Chain A
Amino acid sequence: MTTFSPQTQTSSPSPSPKSSLLPLYGMMAEFETPAQIMEAAKKVNAAGYRFWDCHVPFPVHGLDKAMGIKRTILPLLVFGAGMTGTIVGFCLQAFTNAASFSIWALVWVTGYPFLISGKPLMSVPAWIPIIFELTILLSALSAVGLMFLMNGLPRLSHPLLSNIRFRRATDDRFFIVIESRDPKFLRSKTEAFMKTLGAKHIEVVEDR
Chain B
Amino acid sequence: MSASITAVADLSDRSIMGDDRLVRTSRVAYVVAVISLIAAAFVAWKQNDPHGLAMIWLQNGIFVLTLSLGAFFFVMVQHITNAGWAVAIRRIAEAQAANLTWIWVLFLVPMFWLLITNREWNGFGHGLAIIWPWADMAHLTEHSPAEGAIVAQKTAFLNPTFFMIRACVYFAFWALATRWFLSTSRRQDQTGDATLSTKMRYAAAPCLILFALTSTFAAVDWIMSLSPAWFSTMFGIYFFAGTCAGGFSIIAIGCLRLQAMGYLRGVITAEHYQDIGKMIWAFGIVFWAYIAFSQYMLIWYGNLPEETVWFLARQVGDWAWVSVALIVGHFFIPFLFFISRWMKRWRGTLAFGALWMLAFSWIDIYWLVMPVVPHDVATFTTYDALAAAYATTSTGLGNPLNYLMLVGFIGLSIGSATGRLSRGSVLCRRDPRLNESLQFENI
Q: How many residues of A contact B (CB 8 A)?
A: 20
Report if B5 contacts A (CB, 8 A).
Answer: yes
Main secondary structure of the interface of B (DSSP, over half): loop
Contacts of B311-357 to chain A: CB distance below 8 A: 339-341
Question: Which residues of chain A are within 8 angstroms of B4 by Cβ–Cβ distance?
Answer: 38, 61-62, 65-66
In-complex Cβ contact of B300 among A34, A39, A79, A125 (8 A): A125
Say how far A71's CB is from chain B's closest CB, in angstroms. 9
**A128 and B297 within 8 A (CB):** yes
Question: Which residues of chain B are within 8 angstroms of A79 by Cβ–Cβ distance?
Answer: 339
Question: Which residues of chain B are within 8 angstroms of A64 by Cβ–Cβ distance?
Answer: 443
Contacts of B400-443 to chain A: CB distance below 8 A: 439, 441, 443
**A38 and B3 within 8 A (CB):** yes
Question: Which residues of chain A are within 8 angstroms of B107 by Cβ–Cβ distance?
Answer: none
Question: B291-319 interface mask toward A, CB cutoff 8 Å, 1 = contact, 0 = none?
Answer: 00100110011010000000000000000
Question: Which residues of chain A are within 8 angstroms of B2 by Cβ–Cβ distance?
Answer: 34, 38, 60-62
Considering the complex, give the chain A residue whose CB is closest to the CB of B296: A125
Report if B1 contacts A (CB, 8 A).
Answer: yes
Contacts of B265-300 to chain A: CB distance below 8 A: 293, 296-297, 300
Once bound together, how far apart are the Cα atoms of A141 and B81, in whole Å? 29
Say how far A25's CB is from chain B's closest CB, in angstroms. 28
Once bound together, how far apart are the Cα atoms of A125 and B441, in whole Å? 40
Considering the complex, give the chain A residue whose CB is closest to the CB of B293: A128
Once bound together, how far apart are the Cα atoms of A62 and B4, in whole Å? 6
Given A117-B301, A125-B300, also A62-B3 (CB < 8 A): yes
Once bound together, how far apart are the Cα atoms of A171 and B190, in whole Å? 40
Report if A35 contacts B (CB, 8 A).
Answer: yes
In-complex Cβ contact of B301 among A34, A65, A126 (8 A): A126
Report if A17 contacts B (CB, 8 A).
Answer: no
**A35 and B3 within 8 A (CB):** yes
Say how far B269's CB is from chain A's closest CB, in angstroms. 12
Once bound together, how far apart are the Cα atoms of A60 and B441, in whole Å? 10
Say how far A2's CB is from chain B's closest CB, in angstroms. 25
B4, B5, B297, B301 interface centre (most CB from chain A within 10 Å): B4
Report if A48 contacts B (CB, 8 A).
Answer: no
Once bound together, how far apart are the Cα atoms of A118 and B300, in whole Å? 11
**A59 and B443 within 8 A (CB):** yes
Considering the complex, give the chain A residue whose CB is closest to the CB of B1: A34
Once bound together, how far apart are the Cα atoms of A65 and B6, in whole Å? 12
Further contacts, 9 of them, CB under 8 A, given A35-B1, A66-B4: A38-B3, A61-B1, A62-B3, A62-B5, A62-B441, A66-B3, A117-B301, A125-B296, A129-B297
| A interface residues, Cβ below 8 angstroms from B | 34-35, 38-39, 59-62, 64-66, 75, 79, 117-119, 125-126, 128-129
